[in-house]
Structure 1
Amino acid sequence: MILTIRREYDRRMMLAPYLSLNGQVVTIPDGLAGTETTIATMRQMVNRSKTDPQIRQAATTVAFLQPEKDYQAEAEAVFNEVRDGIRYMRDVHGVETLQEPHITMGLKLGDCDDQAVLLASMLESIGVPTRFVVAGYSGPYYEHVYLQAWLDDRWVDMDATEPHPMGWAPPDPTVMAFEEI
């Protein structure tokens, strides 16, 4: 009993990992131009990070446990790793922020764009093509981004910010766009 209580205490008292961070502030325009700038930056981050040894090692470590050449199972394992291992945390109030995938992995937290960039980087590093899905749910404005992966000759939804399986997508978007990586 005491050991169980101690484990629960340790789990609840665990702090988010601390990383020394540096970055830059970039002004992003409002509206559609801002969304396009954000997605373009995310695409650059994925293309830069998919060859990062740290990102590839994280993806291959998870994928290695799946049957050889079962690309669907490998992608699902990577998806589950991001969904279950990265806590959703909103951006700084009033400031759209993007963090590099290795930062998201280190902090173990990020919002929808951070998780989509990490997931895309990991999947692309093991040969799975991906694209961003940008969606809005309350009018003509985009407010969420998640990923699709090309598996078995079709695009498969992957929203790692929700506790749903691979293949689930947020319902009833009022606006949606797809952005190749």
Structure 2
Amino acid sequence: MRTHTQLEVNGQADGRATVLAHAIMIYVVALVPTLPTFLLVRPLLLEVGPISQWDPIMTQFVLFLVLLIAFITLVQRFQRVVFGVLVAALLSLTVTTISGTFGFGDLVGGYAGVMGMLRETSNDLPMAAGRFAPFHDAFHLRRLVEQAGPEVRKAAVRMATAHFTKVKVEPEDNTLVQSFSVFKEINGRWRYVSDRKGGEYFASPAESQELMAGDCDDHAVLMAACIKAIGGEVRLVRTNGHIYPELKVGDDARLARATELIRKELFVKEARNAPLHHHTDRNGMHWINLDYTRPYPGGELMDEGIIGILDL
């Protein structure tokens, strides 16, 4: 009787172990498509009107959880088909491994490469363009940028050709690369100096170019004026107590090209493994951050809560 009971206990333990192993296998199989799907869907979801107002961390957590549950449900529903495909894939992988044409390491490396490409391309930050408040001092800031004189143009040309002149690029990349050179020149020399307490002073681009010092709005105006002077498209973004410039890089293909240039050609040491932050407007055009928070374009934002955007 005791032996029979022991066999039942062992059988129950084996059964629980089998169920646990099966559940883990389903989870792992579902996780493989969940990760790339999450990286693809995340920036699109954060652009949806009401959702863009939610807490971004909680929104992304809920999105990942929903996708994981959905793929787990699909794997459970079609597990015979899924596991049949897995068995066939493992057999094929075994054959190719033995033949030396394609091994398990190649498979893992390929998947890691896809994940890295999706993760590292950029961080698309949420925007709610329909909910922006009026841009305080918009008229004055725009006039400072648009009325920059020939001395600013001269300084902009000098800064545009101060860096990256030996990098071989296509003609369509010239303005982008020269804008990044302006960014590098200004941010490499800029020193932050606050306005007087209780007051707001907006320096002209010429004054800021001479001093290479001032507060955030002085930096933003100088950066915008210099980049506009060499043919780039820029705008100013106002957050809580801060203003920073953004450079228009264009559509998805142009964003991918800008990311490649930043990571592999122009800011290799500074941005090789760092996230690149940008916004996407309603027309699908991407704008990359040019603030002084990081020594490369697309650096981390001081505040993601946008109050207003000033097109120039």
User: How far has the Cα of 1:64 moved from its partner?
Assistant: 2.8
TM-score normalised over the length of structure 1? 0.69
Q: How does 1:165-180 map to 2 (within 5 A)?
A: 165-170=296-301, 172-180=303-311
* Structure 2 spans left out of the alignment, 5+ residues: 1-132, 252-285
Q: Work out the percentage of aligned pairs sharing the same amino acid.
A: 27
Are the structure 2 counterparts of residues 88 and 172 from structure 1 closer, same or farther at C-alpha, using a change threshold of 3 Å?
closer
For residue 243 of structure 2, what is the aligned residue in structure 1?
145
Larger helix proportion of the pair? 2
The change in CA–CA distance for 1:117 and 1:172 in structure 2 (over 3 A counts) is closer
Aligned equivalent of 1:95? 199
Q: Aligned partners of 1:85, 1:179: CA distance in 2, in Å?
A: 25
1:39 to 126, 135, 138: 138
CA 171–86 in structure 1, closer or farther in 2 if over 3 Å, else same: closer
Q: 1:48 aligns with which of 147, 163, 172?
A: 147
* Deviation, structure 1 residue 109: 0.6
CA drift at 1:71:
2.0
Retained in 2: the 8 A contact 1:132–1:148? yes
Instruction: Report Cα offsets for 1:149-175 as digits up to 9, x if no partner.
Output: 112432111103x23311124155334
2:228 equivalent to 1:124 = yes
Higher gyration radius (CA): 2
Say whether residues 1:159 and 2:295 are aligned partners.
no
Q: Which residue among 194, 202, 214 is the counterpart of 1:110?
A: 214
- Deviation, 1:112, is 0.4
Q: Do the aligned partners of 1:46 and 1:117 also contact (CA within 8 Å) in 2?
A: yes
Gaps of 5+ in 1: 1-31, 137-142
- Which residue is 2:161 aligned to? 64
Which structure dedicates a bigger proportion of its chain to strand?
1
How many residue pairs are counted as aligned between the two chains? 139
Whether the 8 Å contact between 1:71 and 1:151 is mirrored in structure 2 is no
Report the more deviating stretch, 77-86 or 109-118: 77-86
Cα deviation, residue 62, structure 1: 2.2
Output one character per residue of 1:43-67: Cα deviation in whole Å (capped at 9) or x when no partner: 1100001xx2111111111223535
Which among 174, 179, 185 is matched to residue 81 of structure 1? 185
**Distance (whole Å) between structure 2 residues aligned to residue 171 and residue 97 of structure 1:** 21
Q: Determine the structure 2 residue equivalent to 1:19.
A: none
Q: Residue 146 of structure 1 aligns to a residue in which SS? A: strand
CA displacement at 1:102 relative to structure 2 = 0.8
Amino acid at match of 1:157: N
